[in-house]
Structure 1
């Protein structure tokens, strides 16, 4: 699983990354996580409000920070 956190590096972006890591830990799964801060690359994903979460090149979250439970549910379906 390849996960990208999209955003300028704001507090919400860091919170989304931390919660994503917690959700993966809860599920006992590993993933490659990277942070994308380049606005042009973020725009290529069609994300106009950050933070964004991309899983295996699919945008699954944009403009909000889900709970760890919601993220675990979302990631377990993949």
Structure 2
């Protein structure tokens, strides 16, 4: 199971990123545990300077905007 964190204040882009993660994982047949991190201090401590941010298994892989679906597939498959 992959652990995915979506960092952001809860804006539409953050919600779209969470939906994209869940849909992509379902498409790939990968179980994911998705956590939304909305606390500004926690977001900054994770190194996210622009939201939404995304980490997979503890590694920050994306920040700033909804991630590309193909890249997301690579991150989840790794």
TM-score normalised to structure 2 length = 0.91
How many residues were matched structurally? 77
Gaps of 5+ in 1: none
- After superposition, the C-alpha distances for 1:2-52 in whole angstroms (9 at most, x for unaligned) are 111000000000000000111101110101111000000000111110000
Q: Alpha-carbon deviation of 1:64?
A: 1.9
Q: Which runs of 4+ in 1 moved over 4 A?
A: none
User: Could you tell me how far apart the structure 1 residues matched to 2:23 and 2:68 are?
Assistant: 10
User: Could you tell me how far apart the structure 2 residues matched to 1:19 and 1:26 are?
Assistant: 10
Gaps of 5+ in 2: none
Question: Cα RMSD over matched residues?
Answer: 1.0
TM-score normalised to structure 1 length = 0.91
